[in-house]
């Protein structure tokens, strides 16, 4: 049986809400797709599944959404970024992948289009931050403005990065302890996987820092001073996380260098032992070879004690060589 999902069976709308004063309405795809107009003073948040052809088709037809923004919300692969476009803000953010069986560093993408009255977000994979925001809407405590929605997403995504990076830091500690305490080097595949995780996280966290910086600099009325303050705090968090990743990456490089040194030292030790053995047996082989020459006039040929004398001489020669090596601190 194939695990491939038919895109036409995917629900276009994951969740949607309309806020008018103190009233919060849960929107359905039927009402959204029919183009029901928003009431004056009403704010809407629509969270769409990027895999659904119906969602993309509706968004491209929707007059309240700019065509450039609609296409950007459905791009296949985007890096974190933020910029103003006409009457809105287009923001792409990345978050830790907390889905079952997934690797955290395989980060999920959240695309956001924000205007005064509308927030549209799209995802292809499950994102916990959108669930958290939906819970706030359902509990009657939505963000005060659409700009606050951006600040909320940025802060929530950054907050969920911290435990993952802390675990990477602890993993680096464990690798260093194994290396220093027992001299045991971790398997190559383990260290490679660790470094790959760090690099993949760093690949998106650093651009996210720049995206938040660009977002703060945008002179748009959608962001209040409170929103900018929240974004600055989130930016500081992301900067710190990026610095932590840089430190972990450098520690991983040091660990790899130490492993290379340990393996080179072990190889040199083995070669040294082989050299000592060769130094001992080379003169012994020379003597035995010399006495094994099948020519006339060899000493001791007619003596019964010659072989015993030769063996004793070889033993004394071996002991002499060992004594010399000991004095030279080779043993």
Residue 38, in any domain of the structure: yes
Tell me, what's the pLDDT at 38? 67
Residue 293 maps to a domain = no
Indicate whether 325 belongs to any domain: no
Average pLDDT, rounded, for the chain:
87
The proportion of the chain whose per-residue pLDDT surpasses 90, expressed as a percent, equals 47
Is 61 domain-assigned?
yes
pLDDT tens-digit map of 199-212: 989 988 989 999 99
Tens of pLDDT, residue by residue over 55-104, are 999 998 888 888 899 999 998 877 899 999 888 999 999 999 888 888 88
Does residue 66 form part of some domain? yes
pLDDT of 134: 96
Reduce the secondary structure of the chain to three states and give it as a string: CCCCCCHHHCCCEEEEEEEECCEEEECCHHHHHCCCCCCCCCEEEEEEECCCHHHHHHHHHCCCCCHHHHHHCCCCCCCCEEEEECCEEEEEEEECCCCCCCCCCCCEEEEEEECCCEEEEEECCCCHHHHHHHHHHHCCCCCCCHHHHHHHHHHHHHHHHHHHHHHHHHHHHHHHHHHHHHCCCCCHHHHHHHHHHHHHHHHHHHHHHHHHHHHHHCCCCCCCHHHHHHHHHHHHHHHHHHHHHHHHHHHHHHHHHHHHHHHHHHHHHHHHHHHHHHHHHHHHHHHHHHHCCCCCCCCCCCCCCHHHHHHHHHHHHHHHHHHHHHHCCCC
Domain holding 248: CATH number? 3.30.460.20
Mean pLDDT of 21-34: 89
What pLDDT, in 10s, does the model give residues 149-184?
A: 999 999 999 999 999 999 999 999 988 888 877 666
Most confident of 13-22, 94-103, 281-290: 13-22
Give the pLDDT mean for 203-226.
91
Query: Is residue 58, in this structure, part of any structural domain at all?
Result: yes
pTM of the predicted model as reported, rounded to 2 decimal places: 0.79
Residue 282 lies in a domain: no
Which pLDDT score, from 0 to 100, does residue 225 have? Answer: 93
- Residue 85 sits in which domain range? 7-260
Structural domains counted in the chain:
1
* Residue 224 is assigned to a structural domain of this protein: yes
């Amino acid at each position: 049986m194939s695990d491939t999902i038919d895109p036409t069976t995917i629900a276009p709308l994951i969740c949607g809400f309309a806020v008018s004063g103190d009233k919060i309405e849960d929107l359905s795809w039927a009402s959204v797709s029919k183009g029901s107009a928003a009431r004056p003073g009403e704010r809407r948040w629509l969270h769409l599944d990027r895999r659904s052809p119906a969602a993309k088709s509706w968004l491209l037809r929707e007059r309240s959404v700019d065509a450039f923004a609609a296409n950007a919300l459905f791009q296949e692969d985007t890096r974190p970024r933020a910029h103003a476009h006409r009457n809105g803000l287009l923001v792409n953010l990345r978050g830790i992948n907390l889905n079952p069986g997934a690797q955290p560093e395989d980060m999920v993408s959240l695309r956001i289009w924000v205007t005064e009255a509308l927030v549209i977000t799209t995802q292809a994979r499950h994102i916990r931050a959108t669930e958290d925001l939906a819970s706030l809407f359902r509990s009657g405590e939505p963000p005060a403005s659409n700009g606050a929605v951006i600040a909320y997403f940025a802060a929530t995504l950054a907050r969920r990065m911290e435990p993952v990076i802390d675990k990477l830091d602890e993993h680096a500690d464990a690798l260093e302890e194994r290396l220093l305490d027992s001299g045991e080097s971790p398997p190559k595949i383990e260290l490679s996987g660790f470094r790959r995780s760090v690099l993949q996280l760093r690949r998106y966290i650093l651009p996210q820092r720049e995206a938040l910086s660009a977002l703060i600099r945008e002179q748009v009325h959608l962001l209040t001073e409170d929103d900018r303050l929240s974004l600055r705090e989130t930016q500081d968090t992301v900067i710190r996380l990026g610095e932590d990743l840089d430190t972990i990456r450098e520690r991983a490089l040091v660990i790899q260098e130490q492993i290379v040194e340990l393996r080179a030292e072990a190889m040199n030790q083995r070669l040294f032992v082989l050299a000592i053995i060769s130094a001992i047996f080379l003169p012994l082989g020379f003597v035995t070879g010399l006495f094994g020459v099948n020519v006339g006039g060899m000493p001791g040929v007619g003596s019964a004690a010659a072989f015993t004398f030769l063996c004793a001489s070889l033993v004394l020669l071996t002991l002499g060589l060992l004594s010399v090596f000991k004095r030279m601190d080779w043993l």
